[in-house]
Amino acid sequence: EAQVTQNPRYLITVTGKKLTVTCSQNMNHEYMSWYRQDPGLGLRQIYYSMNVEVTDKGDVPEGYKVSRKEKRNFPLILESPSPNQTSLYFCASSLSGVRVRETQYFGPGTRLLVL
Amino acid sequence: SQKIEQNSEALNIQEGKTATLTCNYTNYSPAYLQWYRQDPGRGPVFLLLIRENEKEKRKERLKVTFDTTLKQSLFHITASQPADSATYLCALGNDGGGGNKLTFGTGTQLKVEL
C-alpha cells in the first residue's frame, strides 16, 4: 500500500531533550516536506526536500533540522525542544522534485507535547 | 505579505444541499490551487487541483472554480452527505523560483446535518 508513515504518533518530552520524528514513504517520491499545524494558524511548512541531499527552509524552520540521506526517509530533528514547538506535525511527499503542482500525500501526523 | 483566507466559522448545511466554501488570497499570484479534506486527528487528503489558466474543475460531486481577477476559489460539494463533514483546506503554490511549496489556508469546517 502506497503511504507515508511517521513515528512516533504521539510524544511527550521535556524542554531541551533532543528528539527525532521519522518519516518514510514507499512511493519513490522525490519531494518530501514537513509541516506543523496549530489552531488558527493552519499548516505551515518547516522544511522541504526536492531530492536526496537537497533540503531547504520553509516558512518556520527555526528550532528544527532535517536530513535527506535516502530518498524514502526524511527525519525531523528537534535538537533542543521548547514548549512553543508543541504542535501536530505532518510529513508529506509528492512525485516531483521540481514542481509541487502534483498531489501531496500526507502522513498520519505526530502529536508532540513539550513540557 | 501573502495571505490566504478561508471562513473560520463552521458551515452547517442540510443533507442534499450544495455546500460552497471560499478561499480568498492577497499579495499572491499562484500558478495553481489545491483543495484538501482533513478529518480530525488525520492528515489532509488531496481532492482537486486547478491551474491558473483553468476556470473550473469537476470530480464527481465536487467542483472548484478559480478566479484570478477576484483572487478567489470556490469549492462546491453537491448533494452533500453527512460523510462530507470535515475541514476543507485550500493551498496555493507556484512553480520554481524557490516557490516549490504549498501555502495553506486555515481551513473551513463543514457540518452536514441529516
Tens of pLDDT, residue by residue, chain A (115 residues): 889 999 999 999 999 999 999 999 999 999 999 999 998 888 999 999 988 999 999 889 999 999 999 999 999 999 999 999 999 999 999 887 545 557 889 999 999 999 9
Position B93 scores a pLDDT of: 82
What average pLDDT does the segment B36-46 reach? Answer: 94
What is the rounded CA–CA span in Å between residue B37 and residue A39? Answer: 16
Position A29 scores a pLDDT of: 92
Which residues from A are below 8 Å from B42, CB to CB?
A: 108-109
Position B95 scores a pLDDT of: 64
Position A87 scores a pLDDT of: 97
- Residues in CB range of A114: below 8 A, 6 or more apart: A13, A14, A15, A81, A82, A83, A84, A85, A86
Inter-chain touch A109–B41, beta carbons under 8 Å:
yes
Shortest CA gap A81–chain B (Å)? 22
| Cβ A11 vs Cβ A110: under 8 Å | yes
| Cβ B15 vs Cβ B27: under 8 Å | no
Amino acid at B81: Q
Which residues from A are below 8 Å from B96, CB to CB?
A: 98-99
Position A101 scores a pLDDT of: 59
Out of B32, B95, B105, closest to residue A42 by CB:
B105
Inter-chain touch A99–B95, beta carbons under 8 Å:
yes
CB atoms within 10 A of CB A55: 18
Size of interface A-B (CB pairs under 8 A): 64
Answer whether residue B109 shows pLDDT above 60.
yes
Within 13 Å and on the Cβ side, how many CA atoms surround B58?
A: 3
B47 versus B96: the higher-pLDDT residue is B47
Inter-chain touch B102–A109, beta carbons under 8 Å:
no
Position A98 scores a pLDDT of: 47
What is the rounded CA–CA span in Å between residue A79 and residue B3? Answer: 31
Shortest CA gap A52–chain B (Å)? 15
Position A99 scores a pLDDT of: 54
Residues A101, B28, A46, A83, CA torsion sign: negative
Out of A4, A35, A101, closest to residue B49 by CB:
A101
- The mean of the pLDDT values for chain B is 90
Which residues from A are below 8 Å from B43, CB to CB?
A: 4, 90, 92, 106-109
Position B103 scores a pLDDT of: 86
Given pLDDT bands bounded at 50, 70 and 90, which one contains residue B97?
low
Position A106 scores a pLDDT of: 95
